[in-house]
Structure 1
Amino acid sequence: FQTFPDAYSVKPNTDTFNAIIKSFAESGTTRSFYSVLDEMCQKGVKPNATTFTTAIAGFYKEERFDDVGKVIELMKKHGCGESLPVFNVRVQGLCKLGRSGDAKALLNEMVKKGTKPSWLTYNHLIHGFCKEGDLEEAKRLYKEMAKKGLVGDSSFYYMLIYYLCKGGDFDTAVGVYNEIAARNWVPCFSTMKMLVNGLAGSSRVDEAKGIIEKMKEKFPDKAEGWKEVEDALPQ
């Protein structure tokens, strides 16, 4: 990289340097970020939010929490405030490390600072608490998210159904399914099969069959697969 710009008369820009930082972060050598940032400054290339969030994500992955703090200070120094994308990266990083409680504290901090969380913020938190086995906190956050009028994508809801079924909370899982059905989203077959089998195993066979009928009606191309699931249910 050092000789490429001169050899080909190419002037690196912010995106170029961000790509380099990303490669270091992905290879577990995020500390090289500091030298890249120095070079950006020397060449008069202004870093942006992505420059810093990429480094933050890398340092979280490597569990270098002191470096996370240093990057946040550098970010402020370069005029990039702690925006929503920055908070989301920090929340995600903590949740991936099994520190969802700390991530929730960060959520409270961002709200106090006047930054409104997005559905993605809640997605990271809910997924984190689900993985840690704290379904009650995950459900509380889900209700809070809904109260704020935030709507996730389909993968978020199927993730939640999966963990609810895994934890045996089929009532809440059915409620989440009803939200998805109302939006006519294409279902994740394996997750819905898990819900149907879970209901059947909880002596709620009629309810399970009702969901299957809706699936067959809305998605006729999957009807054969659902018939196999239905045939395997207790009569």
Structure 2
Amino acid sequence: MASMLKLLRCLNPNHHHFTSLTRFQSGRHLSILLNPNNNSTTTTPLSTKEKSRAALSLLKSEKNPKRIIEICRAASLTPESHLDRIALSIAISKLAASNDFDSIISFINELLRTRPDLNNEKFVAHAIIYYGQAGLLNNAFQLFDEMSQLGIPQNAKSLNALLFSCRSVKEYDEVKRVYRKFPGKYGVMPNLDTYNTVIKSFCESGDSSLCYSVIDEMVGNNCKPNATTFSILIAGFYKEEKFEEVGKVLEVMRKHQVAITIATYNTRIQSLCKLNKTDEAKELLDRLSLSGLKPNSVTHCHLIHGYCKEGELEKAKDLFHKMINSGFKPDSDCYFTLVSYMCKAGDFEEALEVCKQSMEKDWVPNFSTMKLLVMGLVKASKVQEARELVGQMKERFPKNAHMWSEVGESLSALEDT
């Protein structure tokens, strides 16, 4: 990885770092640039999106804290880009996992100090979230407090970032304190996201009943609650198994003229499934027609996952087939869940069929599930199918070819037994 410096060409001439990444030859994997003997690159600068993709790819496999920072610098990451936000989040997570908190603090400070394009409320809000993600809550508070010194006034966006940071590390008392004290102290008017974050925090901490007063405060501040507000509250009451409160929430929704849609029912169905009450959730689905609502793919996927988790695989498979025959499209997680549970139940042939359907959509279950399927096919005397699957995995994921070669060797050992 010492040749990383060959990849990173001058971030900014004023920063003493590298300013541009080298362009990759089309279709070639990023790792070719890490080979000092590689001559397949050109000197054409990468586009902004190519820089982001390059950084993201490198960060996923990089472990050295120093090089993680170098990659971020070289790509000039910015929270304006979705890819960049993912890359920065991965970088922060990896630095935190290696307990390199000093690097996180110095890197964020460096960005604020040397990148004029990041000296704005949007980046500061993301920086506060990154501090929370790393468990550096004191630094998140400090940055929020010092925003005015940076010429950036505190606003709802930065307040919401601070609330999110507190919630992400389960400091629910701090969420309450910030919510109660900071709007007045810093002259910030809460918005819908503020209230929804607080409601989510109360629900996560087992204080869902406190949310009614938050909704009253919302209305008093001319901020109308939305469907998300009530979905969070409904999920909270289900989690606390206060089922009688769910009906009350539906009444409050009607009072505030917030439509009860299929999304509301999906929240209820998912919540029941999490409580291992999938049959009750299915009854709720069956009653949907009485309310004039129609289920969607999400509805069915929640139920399929619930039945799988409860060991009711036949019900899950039956619902899956009915779902497809009715024109609904399962999502990737639905396929992955079914394949995994079918394999665990020893139903390898049907798992293979579902897996094939998933792979036709370019959705491939994780390595452990695929390995379980391959080994199961061999035990079910489906050796040819198992070998074909191994070959497909090698072709699709060349980086993991060595892992699949080991699986292939295991197949030979199983055949010999």
Give the TM-score normalised by structure 1: 0.94
Give the distance between the partners of 1:205 and 1:175, measured in 2 at CA: 15
Q: Give matches, 1:1-235, under 5 Å.
A: 1-233=179-411, 234-235=414-415
Do the aligned partners of 2:300 and 2:320 also contact (CA within 8 Å) in 1?
A: yes
Amino acid at match of 1:228: E
Between Structure 1 and Structure 2, how many residues are aligned?
235
Do the aligned partners of 2:308 and 2:337 also contact (CA within 8 Å) in 1?
A: no
133-142 or 78-87: bigger deviation: 78-87
Regions of 4+ moved over 4 Å: none
Residue 218 (structure 1) shift:
2.8
Amino acid at match of 2:218: M
Larger Rg: 2
Do the aligned partners of 2:355 and 2:364 also contact (CA within 8 Å) in 1?
A: no
Higher RCO (CA-CA < 8 Å; seq separation 6+)? 1
Q: Structure 1's 152 and 52: CA in aligned 2 closer, same or farther, altered over 3 A?
A: same
Amino acid at match of 2:336: Y
Which residue of 1 is the match for residue 143 of structure 2?
none
SS at match of 2:307: helix
Give deviations 1:49-92, integer Å, cap 9, x for gaps. Answer: 11110000111111110111111111111111221211111001
SS at match of 1:3: helix
Do the aligned partners of 2:349 and 2:377 also contact (CA within 8 Å) in 1?
A: no
Amino acid at match of 1:124: H
Give the distance between the partners of 1:187 and 1:7, measured in 2 at CA: 50
Give deviations 1:98-120, integer Å, cap 9, x for gaps. Answer: 10001011112223433222222
Give the distance between the partners of 2:396 and 2:225, measured in 1 at CA: 49
Give the distance between the partners of 2:264 and 2:316, measured in 1 at CA: 22
Residue 186 (structure 1) shift:
4.0
18-27 or 76-85: bigger deviation: 76-85
92-101 or 44-53: bigger deviation: 44-53
Give the TM-score normalised by structure 2: 0.54
117-126 or 89-98: bigger deviation: 117-126
Give deviations 1:16-54, integer Å, cap 9, x for gaps. Answer: 111110110111111111111122222222111111100
Give the distance between the partners of 1:34 and 1:184, measured in 2 at CA: 44
| Structure 1 residue ranges without an equivalent (≥5) | none
Q: Structure 1's 169 and 111: CA in aligned 2 closer, same or farther, altered over 3 A?
A: farther
76-85 or 91-100: bigger deviation: 76-85
Amino acid at match of 1:118: N
Give the distance between the partners of 1:187 and 1:50, measured in 2 at CA: 30
| Structure 2 residue ranges without an equivalent (≥5) | 1-178
Amino acid at match of 1:232: S
Amino acid at match of 2:337: M
Give the distance between the partners of 2:334 and 2:353, measured in 1 at CA: 14
